[in-house]
Homo-oligomer: A and B are copies of this chain.
Amino acid sequence: MSQNIDASQNLSSVDGTAAGIQDARVAVGKLADRARSASRVLARADRNWKDRALLAIAASLDTHRASVIKANAKDIAAGKANGTSDALLDRLKLNDKRVDALIAALEELAGLPDPVGTVLRGQTLPNGLRLRQVHVPMGVIGAIYEARPNVTVDIAGLALKSGNAVLLRGGSAAAHSNVALLALIRDALESVGLPADAVASVDAWGRDGADAMMGARGQIDVLIPRGGRELIQRVVTTASVPVIETGEGNVHIYLDESADASMAVPILLNAKTQRPSVCNTVETLLLNANAKASGEVLAALHKAGVRLHVDARAKALAGSTPTIDAQESDWDTEYMDLDLAVAVVDDLGGAIKHIRRHSTGHTEAILTNDLSHAERFIAEVDSAAVIVNASTRFTDGGQLGLGAEVGISTQKMHARGPMGLRELTTTKWIVQGDGHVRS
């Protein structure tokens, strides 16, 4: 993979100080133009060709796993030297098992249907005009994310399969890993006759590179930030390129009066403890004041190691279960840890009111045996996913049968909820006539 390693970023300028924002704009503009040219090849590549590229990347990851893990070790060492937290180091880490997971994900992606060319609507009008609204690639996607090198492979794979070129800004903490992964991806593209420029990185220009991407209106079609609140807010508020917002999940579960403990306890344990660090984990439990399952649920959560941040009424319901007094800020905190805010509400209306005030619009669930309550919750809660009697952990592209996903959109434009391949496309109207003029 020598050619693209040579052509890849000069690590000495990864911190973004070597080049100013003007230089970054020019350089990123050139990368975007080359990505645009590459995108035109990809847009016309058939599924078979794109799948061969995905499998070539997977094979190369397998072949070069030692050098990828070695590059990653440099990032880990640098992170340790910088005093990076264990949680962040864990996200940064690549090992054999994680490389296997990346390979498996690429192979799974190759097995998914191609969204490009599928017809959304079509008809022949009374005047004989033939119409089709067809899914086509966006063109050039920009991805801005943090120190997770696996995202480099995930996003590149999703972009390729949906026929898009992609510019990546992966964060300096994973710089060595990303250089190795990028070179391998670009070589694999060339090995199947696709242009390497379909996947490129702006990491050499550091934060200036990210800023240049945000301003590359007309050159980048859509920006997808993936990461923490601060990153996403910065992109959303400063970018002139359209942004699909992903992420933040201040997820609520409302335990209705009628819910049985036998259903509520397993769902709460799953939603809070299975993987506390992800966006579809529950962060606030709303207890109906008369919910019969309250005591049992709180005791089970405590037993599972969950710290309960309770309001005064929830404290009373907790009985002998140890709790922490909640602060006002707890209702808006995405803990991403074994913490749970717990509030008591008088009724379903109170739960909906609390959710309207504090939800980030990701996922909310109701646990109930009352049909009218389920219907009202579905109708009135304005979130990307509304769940009845199941774990909030199901808000996930793979779980919902969409296949791989780019993230969970918490906005209302373009895509809402898990963003699979289809959400990385736009549409084009194709109108065919025989000399038709408008009367």
Contact = CB atoms under 8 A, between A and B. Distances in A.
Interface stretch (A248-256, A303-311, A385-393): A385-393
Contacts of A222: 412-413
Interface string A250-284: 00000000000011001101110010000000000
Interface in A117-144: 123, 125, 129, 131, 133, 136, 138-139
A416 interface: yes
A367 to B, nearest CB: 9
Contacts of A274: 437-438
A433 B242 contact: no
Contacts of A435: 262-263, 266-267, 389-390
Contact of A437 (B266, B400, B432): B266
A395 interface: yes
A378 interface: yes
Interface string A369-392: 000001000111011111111110
B416 A414 contact: no
A430 B244 contact: no
Given A388-B431, A389-B433, A431-B394, A413 B438 contact: no
A65 interface: no
A244 B123 CA distance: 26
A221 interface: yes
Contacts of A430: 378, 385-386, 388
A5 interface: no
Given A266-B435, A417-B428, 7 more contacts: A125-B401, A136-B382, A242-B243, A274-B437, A391-B437, A394-B436, A418-B429
Interface of A: 40, 43-44, 123, 125, 129, 131, 133, 136, 138-139, 217, 221-222, 236-237, 240, 242-244, 262-263, 266-267, 269-271, 274, 374, 378-380, 382-391, 393-396, 399-401, 411-414, 416-418, 426-438
